[in-house]
Chains A and B, each alone.
Chain A
């Protein structure tokens, strides 16, 4: 394997990492603060993609579509929180799972009613379609660089908000002891709505960024959501830093495992054995990572609260 290929795969891993982070950040905050398991979080990922695709086709401008789609997902997040999620904070986890599972079915069906059963594709503007030379002979698509930078920027912004503002302080306090924050007279319900909608917007951003590469399709959020769950379990529920570290670990390990594990296994296995076992083992890697971390730290790397 040559170093250029490794570089490219590392960048691909980072790309998956930032997408996972954008999903996991909302999940982990909603979960840490409201104690609410939202299986339907992936629906915002899907909605972000569909809304952005529609706007991009209407307005013929990807930039405008992104600038509009993110606030729209935020508003949808507010509506869902006020209308449905709020009713479920008091319920136990089992009921939350059942209800949010129902929400997934509803969201997927509504998308099918509005946009039809097929996915939506749209083209990127010319300027984002090129390749950029990183160094020597390593070329990487401009758009993927953009995804990574946008994701890192959001992560940085979120970190600053959470660790350096008053709202962030309340969020951290809420994640470690919700009742105490309430007792101190903070309007926790406003905070919940804000956090939920911000999480929705971040998930929407992740979905709309990946949509030009894959496509906007029904149920696209459901599979990546499970990996986002792995991320927050690894990182520790309620911790944004944990989500970031977990997302990067999972993104890199998954991507590098899929591309280089067969080369690696060939060092000690026969060519044939390496070829057949590599796909199965690389599919397992992130779950093995999770199992190992949980064995030593059941509350995850940055767990705010013990399980």
Chain B
């Protein structure tokens, strides 16, 4: 990270730490909700970035892990099991298992087949939850009480939830930063560039990709756990494939294969989603046009633009 980047990070984190106090002071609690959602989506997008950006596995079903994580809050809560640690373990365990099982099949394929198979498995979970009437089916399930994390912590207090989400986001970003610069990360990035060569060098590339896929799924499950707590309502709609498409859009808007990109992308996405509907009810039209422009001209996303612009202004 460059020196100015480091300063920017410190300022951002400080600002994020002070935000709840400012929101209360200014009487704008709505801001806090927007930022919590932004950060949760940033965690999910970061997890997708790990497989999509760093290791070239384009998954179009990543939102399924958000759904699994959220149902890991909702289903125990339905039976009055409100322990947050239990729910968190369930979220990470279930999303990890799902990633492992589907990964064993998905990762046998490449390119377009991989895209469609991840999509299909996500859709499968979607329809399974639609068909289970016990947990609300299509209508979803209301979570009446947020996770109980132990004495002194009360997630019903929005600012405490905010700090938890912020903590998770920072932890995930540090984890991904470390991971992608480790030996493991080097292998994963190299597989993206030339898998056959890595195999020739003696790496079991299938296993590396599988481990990467499972880690990514579990991080996204964490995001689902947070989202279930935040919204207090879960439904199969959370893992609809359009949600997965939105996650891809976030990664590409911000800049794939960068640690900060998904956060920026989630920021842009939330910005569009919050501001545009106030101007026109047909705001999806403009979002669609934005996505096409990014696909056509926006190589590297916002971060890519920034680096190229810096490269031009400095001789």
Of A64-72, A95-103, A130-138, A158-166, the one with at least 4 CB within 8 A of chain B: A95-103
Question: Which of A91, A233, A283, A291 has a CB less than 8 Å from the CB of B130?
Answer: A283
Chain A residue with Cβ nearest B281? A112
Question: Beyond A229-B120, A290-B117, is A99–B131 a contact (Cβ under 8 Å)?
Answer: no
Q: Which residues of A contact B (CB under 8 A)?
A: 31, 35, 37, 39, 84, 87-88, 91, 93-99, 101-106, 108-110, 112-113, 222, 226-227, 229-230, 232-233, 237, 276, 279-280, 282-284, 287, 290-291, 294-295, 298, 307
Q: Across the interface, do A290 and B120 meet the contact criterion of CB distance under 8 Å?
A: yes
Minimum distance in angstroms from B6 CB to a CB of chain A: 30
Q: Across the interface, do B289 and A102 meet the contact criterion of CB distance under 8 Å?
A: yes
Give 9 closest A-B pairs by Cβ, nearest first. Answer: A102-B291, A105-B288, A99-B295, A279-B131, A283-B127, A106-B288, A287-B124, A102-B288, A109-B285
Q: Across the interface, do A37 and B112 meet the contact criterion of CB distance under 8 Å?
A: yes
Expressed in whole angstroms, the Cα–Cα distance for A48 and B134 within the complex equals: 37
Question: Which of B111, B121, B252 has a CB less than 8 Å from the CB of A307?
Answer: B111
- Interface membership of chain B positions 227-257, coded 1 if the CB is closer than 8 angstroms to chain A and 0 otherwise: 0000000000000011001001100100000
Q: Which residues of B contact A (CB under 8 A)?
A: 52, 58, 60, 105, 108-113, 115-117, 119-121, 123-124, 127-128, 130-134, 241-242, 245, 248-249, 252, 282, 284-285, 287-292, 294-296
Question: Beyond A84-B292, A294-B108, A295-B105, is A280–B131 a contact (Cβ under 8 Å)?
Answer: yes
Q: Which residues of A are found within 8 Å of B249, using beta-carbon distances?
A: 98, 101
Question: Beyond A97-B58, A276-B134, A287-B121, is A109–B105 a contact (Cβ under 8 Å)?
Answer: no
Chain A residue with Cβ nearest B137? A279
Q: Which residues of A are found within 8 Å of B296, using beta-carbon distances?
A: 87-88, 91, 95, 99
Question: Which of B58, B105, B113, B290 has a CB less than 8 Å from the CB of A237?
Answer: B113
28 residue pairs A–B, Cβ–Cβ below 8 Å: A84-B292, A87-B296, A94-B252, A97-B60, A99-B291, A99-B295, A101-B242, A101-B245, A102-B287, A105-B284, A106-B285, A109-B282, A109-B284, A109-B285, A110-B285, A112-B282, A226-B119, A227-B123, A230-B116, A237-B112, A279-B131, A279-B132, A280-B131, A283-B128, A283-B130, A284-B124, A290-B120, A294-B105
Q: Which residues of B are found within 8 Å of A276, using beta-carbon distances?
A: 134
Expressed in whole angstroms, the Cα–Cα distance for A95 and B119 within the complex equals: 16
Chain A residue with Cβ nearest B283? A109
Q: Across the interface, do A287 and B285 meet the contact criterion of CB distance under 8 Å?
A: no
Question: Beyond A99-B296, A226-B241, A284-B124, is A106–B289 a contact (Cβ under 8 Å)?
Answer: yes
Expressed in whole angstroms, the Cα–Cα distance for A290 and B116 within the complex equals: 11
Expressed in whole angstroms, the Cα–Cα distance for A226 and B108 within the complex equals: 20
Minimum distance in angstroms from B94 CB to a CB of chain A: 15
Q: Which residues of B are found within 8 Å of A229, using beta-carbon distances?
A: 116, 119-120
Expressed in whole angstroms, the Cα–Cα distance for A158 and B116 within the complex equals: 25
Expressed in whole angstroms, the Cα–Cα distance for A218 and B111 within the complex equals: 30
Question: Beyond A99-B292, A102-B290, A280-B132, is A222–B108 a contact (Cβ under 8 Å)?
Answer: no
Chain B residue with Cβ nearest A95? B295
Question: Beyond A108-B284, A109-B284, is A97–B105 a contact (Cβ under 8 Å)?
Answer: no
Q: Across the interface, do B123 and A226 meet the contact criterion of CB distance under 8 Å?
A: yes
Expressed in whole angstroms, the Cα–Cα distance for A150 and B87 within the complex equals: 52
Chain A residue with Cβ nearest B285? A109
Q: Which residues of B are found within 8 Å of A108, using beta-carbon distances?
A: 284
Minimum distance in angstroms from A287 CB to a CB of chain B: 4
Expressed in whole angstroms, the Cα–Cα distance for A289 and B241 within the complex equals: 20
Question: Which of A88, A103, A307 has a CB less than 8 Å from the CB of B109?
Answer: A307
Question: Beyond A94-B58, A283-B131, is A31–B289 a contact (Cβ under 8 Å)?
Answer: no
Question: Beyond A39-B245, A97-B248, is A88–B295 a contact (Cβ under 8 Å)?
Answer: yes
